[in-house]
Chains A and B, each alone.
Chain A
Amino acid sequence: MAQSTAAPTPTNPAITPLPVRALVPWAVFFGVLMLVLLYFVGAEQGATALVSGEGVHEWVHDARHLLGFPCH
């Protein structure tokens, strides 16, 4: 098998898509988790606040500015 496919053509000519069913649970759970992370870097204690005070905002202050989020 391996020898027969050792032609100069690169990798698989057609990659089979991953079934959506296998993807959805990961996409929902981790998608939300990742968005929460983005929220804490980009917007917490700016427009809205889940944690009181200014600690989160001040801690990620420079990253928020340089990544392009409105900071204050």
Chain B
Amino acid sequence: MNSTVVRALLARGMLAGLGAGVLAFVFAYLVGEGPVDAAIAFEESGSHEHGEELVSRSVQSTAGLATGVLVFGVAIGGIMALAFCFALGRIGRFGARATAALAALGGFLTVYLVPTLKYPANPPAVGDPDTIDQRTVLFVLMIALSVLLGTGAVLLGRRMAPAWGNWNASTAAGVAFVAAVAVAMVVLPAGDNTPKGFPATDLWEFRLASLGVQAVLWAALGLLFGYLAERVLEPRPVQNEVSALVV
């Protein structure tokens, strides 16, 4: 019985992720492709050789972009649904929609925002290919740390809540999270490697676009999944006589 609920929620999480991915793709195509093209123009104006094109730019910016963003959306949606299943009823008296919104907000903060503050998104031409191994490891490490610390902060807040009250416990947990993240950011090595002469405006616009893509994706995911999850968990209350008669 409960297993069927989990399955239903998981499937809806992936579906909501697909829908959120479509919106994020539209945003990425409209807002993000300009800065990407500007960065590639800078790359080609320099000496950097890129070899022959395996996938044309027009495919990369449409079908390729859509594939990546949609698959990302589905995967994130599935993982968020599993986190939701665990969080539901365990993080306070939140209903399905509120829990979904909080799970998406927590995911956005710990999976994207905090890691990207340390290792920001880079457009083409920014980043030395020779350091890709190190940068990938550090980025994944930063995500893992941020998710672990975020989870720890929630557990801490729940532990404190009975004695301190919800507000004080949540505030203390939030402060502990920020402090722990700050330590991690100071300890981990810097990751900046912008080539000389790369236009600052392009870099800023690219990073802003990246933030936008992720914000659209997580916001849409939280809202869509909340709607779908509520229908699974709280079957429609009998709204009027008509449905009462049907039953």
Contact = CB atoms under 8 A, between A and B. Distances in A.
A50 interface: no
Interface string A12-43: 11111111101101110011011101101111
A43 B231 CA distance: 36
A62 B122 contact: no
B82 A65 contact: no
Contact of B78 (A17, A34, A71): A34
Contacts of A2: 237-238, 244
A20 to B, nearest CB: 7
Contact of B72 (A14, A25, A67): A67
Contacts of B122: 65, 70-71
Contact of A17 (B59, B90, B139): B90
Interface of B: 2-3, 5-7, 10, 28, 32-33, 36, 53-55, 59-61, 64-69, 71-72, 74-76, 78-79, 82, 85-86, 88-90, 93-96, 99, 112, 115-116, 119-124, 127, 129, 132-133, 135-137, 139-140, 206, 209-210, 213-214, 230, 233-234, 237-238, 244
Contact of B132 (A6, A22, A65, A72): A72
A24 B76 CA distance: 18
Interface residues of A, number: 51
Contact of B127 (A19, A25, A35, A70): A70
A58 B93 contact: no
Interface of A: 2, 5-6, 10-20, 22-23, 25-27, 30-31, 33-35, 37-38, 40-43, 46-48, 53-55, 58-72
> What 3 pairs between A and B have smallest CB-CB spacing?
A63-B68, A60-B68, A17-B89
Contact of A15 (B6, B54, B88, B123): B88
Nearest to A16: B89
A42 B136 CA distance: 9
Contacts of A34: 74-76, 78-79
B67 A18 contact: no
A31 B6 CA distance: 13
A65 B124 contact: yes
Contacts of B95: 10-12, 15
Contacts of A71: 122, 124, 127, 132
Contacts of A66: 28, 32, 36, 65, 69, 121, 206, 209-210, 213
Nearest to A15: B89
B89 A31 contact: no
B5 A22 contact: yes
Contacts of A67: 68-69, 72, 121, 210, 213-214
Most buried by A among B6, B10, B119: B6
